[in-house]
Amino acid sequence: MSKWVDFGIDMYGYITLTTSSLNYSEQLLKDFMDEIQEKIHPNFLLRIIPLKIDLFTPVVGRMDKWTQDAIFNQFEVLSLWKTELEKRYSKKERESPIYSIKID
């Protein structure tokens, strides 16, 4: 993705914040966010949209505990994501429209 940003392409991202275990989630998420800022752009986190993963009737019967936990835990990890964004960016930056975030 960094090459596309370096070429000047107007890039955005999506992320699914699912995990079957919350062990080390906060540190792993911080490390991941650090890497995005370092390798892509310091403001790119503000151009990432977390996606909610919903249950779909056809797969519910085939879900194991790992999958159920991953879907349930996404809300805790989303909370960690938002908290970490608050530490890294001002309220004004966080509330800016995604298309106005500069990455050039």
46-61 exposure pattern, b = at least 16 Cβ within 10 A, e = fewer: bbbeeeeeeeeeeeee
pLDDT at residue 60 in the model: 83
Give the Cα separation of 90 and 101 in Å (integer).
13
In a domain, 104, yes or no: no
pLDDT in tens, 32-51: 999 999 999 999 999 999 99
Name the residue range of residue 37's domain: 2-92
Residue 55 lies in a domain: yes
54 alpha-carbon distance from chain centroid: 16
| pTM beyond 0.85, yes or no | yes
Per-residue pLDDT band at 3 (split at 50, 70, 90): very high
103: in domain: no
Is 90 exceeded by the pLDDT of residue 31? Answer: yes
Least confident of 22-26, 87-91, 98-102: 22-26
Q: Are strands 13-16 and 48-51 parallel, antiparallel or unpaired?
A: parallel
Judged by DSSP in three states, 12 sits in coil
- What is the total count of domains within the chain? 1
Give yes or no for residue 10 having a pLDDT over 90: yes
Give the model's pLDDT for residue 63: 85
What is the average pLDDT score of the chain? 94
User: Is residue 100, in this structure, part of any structural domain at all?
Assistant: no
